[in-house]
């Protein structure tokens, strides 16, 4: 899967810290918004999650900050799926300054599909796993 835009927005002055660049809490927030757009593309829509009593939980998140973003900068996040397993998914977000094209930060996340009532990991439905498998950045070889 080629990276697809999952978030577009702007850095507002109130999102900046005492040094003048976007505070780390806003990087996390923008990556979180990108999560939900990526999830919806594979069928983990708000309607599905509500009706099936399912949810998603991040169990690991690794952020690398490369360039600062300033008030007024336009931000774009592109995302790609790296791995889909029975109950978990791993994906990568790349945040760029949309004007310059420079990478500002990357975020790799592992998320777990949850049964909200049982409060434990639950297998993805086959249709979701198949949809995600088609969108993998590095598709797994097809067995004969």
Do 1 and 136 contact (CB within 8 A), yes or no? yes
Residue 1 has pLDDT above 50, yes or no: no
- Comparing 71 with 2, the larger pLDDT belongs to 71
d(Cα 53, Cα 56) in Å, to the nearest integer?
A: 11
Q: Does any domain span residue 72?
A: yes
8: domain CATH number is: 3.10.129.10
Torsion on CA atoms 9, 132, 115, 40, rounded to nearest 10: 30
Total domains in the chain come to 1
Tell me whether residue 104 is in a domain. Answer: yes
Q: What average pLDDT does the chain have?
A: 94
Residue 22 belongs to some domain of the structure: yes
Q: With respect to residue 34, please indicate whether it lies within any of the assigned structural domains.
A: yes
Q: What is the pLDDT of residues 40-65, one digit of tens each?
A: 999 999 999 999 999 999 999 999 99
User: By residue range, what is the domain housing residue 56?
Assistant: 4-134
**143 domain residue, yes or no:** no
R_g of the chain computed on alpha carbons: 16
Task: Tell me, yes or no, whether 140 lies in a domain.
Answer: no
pLDDT of the residue at 137: 76
What is the pTM for the complete model shown? 0.91
């Amino acid at each position: 899967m080629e990276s697809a835009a999952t978030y577009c927005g702007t850095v507002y002055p109130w999102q900046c810290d005492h040094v003048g660049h976007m505070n780390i809490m806003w990087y996390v927030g923008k990556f979180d918004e990108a999560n939900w757009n990526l999830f919806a593309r594979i069928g983990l829509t708000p309607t599905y999650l509500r009706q099936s009593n399912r949810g998603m939980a991040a169990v690991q998140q690794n952020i690398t900050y490369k360039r600062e973003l300033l008030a007024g900068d336009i931000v774009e996040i592109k995302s790609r799926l790296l791995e889909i397993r029975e109950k978990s998914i791993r994906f990568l977000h790349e945040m760029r300054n949309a004007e310059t094209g420079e990478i500002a930060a990357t975020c790799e996340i592992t998320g777990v599909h949850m049964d909200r009532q049982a409060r434990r990991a639950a297998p993805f439905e086959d249709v979701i796993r198949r949809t995600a498998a088609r969108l993998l950045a590095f598709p797994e070889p097809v067995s004969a």
